[in-house]
Amino acid sequence: MAINWYPGHMHKAKKEIREVIPKMDLIIEVLDARLPFSSENPMVASLRRDTPCIKILNKSDLADPVVTQQWVDHINRTSGMKAIAVNLKQPDKIRSILDMAPAMVPERNLDVSQLKAIILGIPNVGKSTTINILASRTVAKTGNEPAVTKQQQRIKLPNNIVLLDTPGFLWPKLAPEDCGYRLAISGAIKNTVIEFEDVAMYLAEFLMQHYPDALQQRYQLREIPQTGIELFDLIGQRRGCMRRGGIADTHKVSEILINEFRDGQLGRITLETPEMIENQLKAMEAAKAAIEAGKAKK
């Protein structure tokens, strides 16, 4: 899915982050536990080198707990990385990061010098609320819409930690393509720039394959239909979203499906697993190799 949303302040933020990451002692990245890979900033992997990194899997109360543990284990196997699954109703668990951070940088004597950390996170992932919990005061503006933080700010935290907050931004090219759909489903992309029907159909087909019981329970279905269109019709009938001729109002059904996923009304659901991402990346590399081989023959 192509994203046509890349404001100027996000281009500026990307440039600033690229300049400042090499100067940091620690990277803290807030991810959406429902899509830990798709919500990850690819710049972190390319710029962090040996810099320790804490991955905060936020909104874990909305995610499948079994898959969340798979992601925690997967991240923890990477050298210099530590994952913690939290939600914003667990302030004490979030504050435990204040003790985790110095442990990630044992060579830093915090009695002598500050620990410099940068916190990153895509729009609407809960980064600002996380910062306010860590600081025990309101220092970052929060909101339900993407792109609330517009400029960098430095925040003094306990344990002699100085935290650099940065604007959340999305990158204009997402790979694999499924990442764009997952981000749109989660609310990381403004509703005004996504095709609701297209995104909702992706979600419907995913749920039919991976969480059929959640669909049956939420929409009181006797059985799961064969296609996403049939599912739309059934949801439309249950929710009174039908047009003349017995056809579902696909936009209204799309809004219902996406909003009820975001609110957790469908249950605890995760849109990607480590194995799923590994397979998609392999397929992407294979396709790329095939294209290059085709060019070489010409």
pLDDT tens-digit readout, 195-239? 899 999 999 999 999 999 999 999 999 999 999 999 999 999 999
**Domains of the chain in sequence order:** 8-165 (3.40.50.300), 178-287 (1.10.1580.10)
Asked if 56 and 68 touch (Cβ cutoff 8 Å), the reply is: no
Task: Give strand pairing partners of 155.
Answer: 163
Segment 245-261 mean pLDDT: 94
pLDDT value at residue 183: 93
Residue bearing the bigger pLDDT, 16 or 271: 271
Using alpha carbons, select from 171, 145, 127, 250 the residue that is nearest to residue 13.
171
Residue bearing the bigger pLDDT, 192 or 61: 61
Quick: pLDDT tens for 119-157.
999 888 999 999 999 999 988 776 544 444 556 789 999
Residues 89, 264: Cα–Cα separation, whole Å: 14
**Residue 128 contacts by C-beta under 8 Å, 6 or more apart in sequence?**
140, 141, 142, 143, 148, 149, 165
Using alpha carbons, select from 229, 271, 269 the residue that is nearest to residue 253.
229
Asked if 33 and 85 touch (Cβ cutoff 8 Å), the reply is: yes
